[in-house]
Structure formats: C-alpha cells, structure tokens
Amino acid sequence: MEAIQVLDWVALGLVMLLAVLAVHLRDVLKGALALAVMSAILAAMFYRFGAPWAAMFELSVCAGFITVLFLAVIALTEAREQHD
C-alpha cells in the first residue's frame, strides 16, 4: 500500500470519526465545529479524487455557509436563554 492510499484511509477515518462526534457531543458549538472540520476534510478528499467542483461546493457551502448559520443560531439561542 502506497503512502497516498494510507493518507486516503486516514482522511476517511477522520471524516467518519468527526461525523459521529458531531452527533454525540452534548455541546452544540463543538458539534458544529466538528461538522465544519469534517466538511473541510471531505472537500479535500473530493479534490484529491478529481472532483474540484464538488470540493469547491462542499468547502464553500457546507464547511462555510452552513457552519456560519449554525454558529449564528447557536449564538442567538444562547442569548435568548440568558435573557429569559
């Protein structure tokens, strides 16, 4: 097995670990950040396997825009809970 194949398997393992971690974490902020890192690694894998458009979409929309939305909702929810 070549070194690049080992790197592919490690990246795949990290994606699966971060996906499970994002679901099981009690802290929603840490879960959202785990999901963002998972999306960034997945985008790198897409690019590595020859799908630059899918990588660009994954990185900009999933790792970027969706993460910003999650963080904004978390911030607004926590602010409302502290206010009540």
* pTM (two decimals): 0.84
Q: For 7-66, what is each residue's pLDDT tens digit?
A: 999 999 999 999 999 999 999 999 999 999 999 999 999 999 999 999 999 999 988 999
- Exposed/middle/buried for residue 54 (C-beta within 10 Å: 0-12, 13-18, 19+): middle
For the chain, the structural domain boundaries read: 3-83
Helix (H) or strand (E) holding 66: none
pLDDT score recorded for residue 77: 86
The dihedral built from the CA positions of residue 4, 8, 9 and 10, taken in this order, carries a sign that is positive
